[in-house]
Amino acid sequence: MSASNRLAGDRPVPDLVTELPGPKARAHVAYDETWTSPSLPRAYPIVPVRGDGLTLEDIDGNLFLDFAAGIAVNSTGHAHPAVVAAIKEQAGELLHFSASDFYLPIYAETCQRIAEITPVAGGRARAYLGNSGTEVVETAIKLARFATKRPYVVAFLGAFHGRSYGSVSLTASKSKYHAGFGPLLPGVYHAPYGRVEDLRWFDEVLFDKLVPAAEVAAIVVEPIQGEGGYIVPEDGFLHGLRAICDQHGILLVADEIQSGAGRTGTMWAIEGWGVKPDILLTAKGIASGLPLAALVARADLLEAWGPGAHGSTYGGNPVACAAALATIDLLQGGLVENARVRGEQAQAGLAPLGGRFPGFVRDVRGRGLMIGIEFDTAEHAEEVQWAAFQRGLLVLECGKSSVRLSPALTVSEAEMATALRIFGEAVAEVAGEPADRPILHAAEAAHAMTGVEAAG
């Protein structure tokens, strides 16, 4: 039985039993908005209480098909039995013992496992563990400056790297992330992203007019931009960055916090182009939802700084490490491959949308299960997100006018087919087309009859 069937029982997924949001969800939203920080950018009023695989149950008993996965975090689905068992076992053994100050076996084992699955330039790698994406971005900035003795850092327009001061200074996806918080970290420049011809900016603008290449410590890049709109760079772009870094002794930092941990059909998105970074950052999917992040770097870089240079009380907490080890086992045991195959299914199913809604659907792109659909306006992207929610499918906006699909890597063929059908209906509704021309129904029926189970 697939993981989702244990929660859903005989019910189909999705299965909506109230209007949305339901009465309990509405009451909860009012309660939440009394007590929580209004800075939280809630997308729509889903109030989940339990999950299993790709099935999410809300406070009113509605069942949703989750193609948002907690912003690309629940890589192994909700409550994967192997991850839950590892967490429970570790929680009963040792909850915390700061690895910054003492020797914690599972911390070193997690560093080894993550370093072994991460190709970095120059071969030998070591790792540092934190709790969240933004923390390891901060770590990368500190390490790059320390190891190179250079002050400047380059990030990209459209990038998202987090919201603490260093990382938010690299972030350039929306000006609201900077509004009211300046001055930000000095010494940060933003390059245009994605096209091979954009690489000329380095020689013609940055190194010629702003700062010498010999003073640039690092170029920090998302191999596929996440929050910026699931933007896939042109072939040759990441190779070009590697060449610029090699020429000038600059460190290439790959932020794989959203694109990594198998999501794109390879363990790391950058592997899709055969490029090796000097430093790679992971978080989100690497521990299936427990707070764990890692910086993996060329060993000689980490060996440049000594005791006290960096650390964290909770980073590499034993329970989070146990979840990461179980997650990596599952990724290597078939989920990375499933992401690739299900990604192909998604691209094949979504490709006709452009032809069916010309001008309205502007682009369908992505790698593996990092899938972006771009619409003509931000309003239409938001309306499609809402129309999908109203049908029980959870998706999430990104970029200016795109919607992302980022399901768990355990997604089955039938679940993907259902999501594609519902998404197509949501698009048709917002585009103003009568809903009596469902797309992909036949494909879904065919997939459902094969009785394919969720992988992993």
Ligand X SMILES: Cc1ncc(COP(=O)(O)O)c(C=O)c1O
Residues contributing to the site for ligand X (CB under 6 A) = 71, 132-134, 137, 160-162, 222, 226-227, 255, 257-258, 283
Please identify which residue in the block is written with the tokens 């192997």. Answer: 82
Output 291 or 343, the one with its CB closest to ligand X. Answer: 291
**Chain Cα centroid distance, residue 174:** 17
Q: Please give the backbone phi and psi of residue 68, each rounded to the nearest 5 degrees, phi first.
A: -110, -35
| Coil vs helix vs strand at 163 | coil
Choice between 137 and 427, CB closer to ligand X: 137
Q: How far is the CB of 450 from ligand X (least distance, A)?
A: 34
Phi and psi torsions of 48, nearest 5°: -80, 145
The HSE-up count of residue 199 (CA atoms within 13 Å, CB side) is 17
Identity of the residue, 22 or 130, whose beta carbon is nearer to ligand X in the bound complex: 130
| Nearer residue to ligand X within complex by CB, 370 or 420 | 370
Nearer to ligand X, 127 or 137 (CB): 137
Count of Cβ atoms closer than 10 Å to residue 116 Cβ: 12
Q: Which residue has the tokens 């006018």?
A: 401
CB of 285 to ligand X, least distance (A): 11
Q: State which residue, 164 or 390, has the beta carbon closest to ligand X.
A: 164
Q: How far is the CB of 258 from ligand X (least distance, A)?
A: 4
Fill in the DSSP letter of residue 123.
Answer: B
User: From the CB of 384, what's the least distance to ligand X, in Å?
Assistant: 21
CB of 306 to ligand X, least distance (A): 26
User: 397 — phi, psi (to 5°)?
Assistant: -65, 160
The DSSP-derived string for 166-202 is HHHHH--S-GGGTTTT-S--SSEEEE--S-GGGGHHI
Q: Which of 183, 133, 182 is nearest to 161 (CA)?
A: 133
Nearest distance from C-beta of residue 228 to ligand X, angstroms:
9
> In this complex, which beta carbon is closest to ligand X, that of residue 55 or of residue 406?
406
Q: Least CB distance from residue 133 to ligand X, whole Å?
A: 2
Q: Identify the helix (H) or strand (E) that includes residue 48.
A: strand 48-52
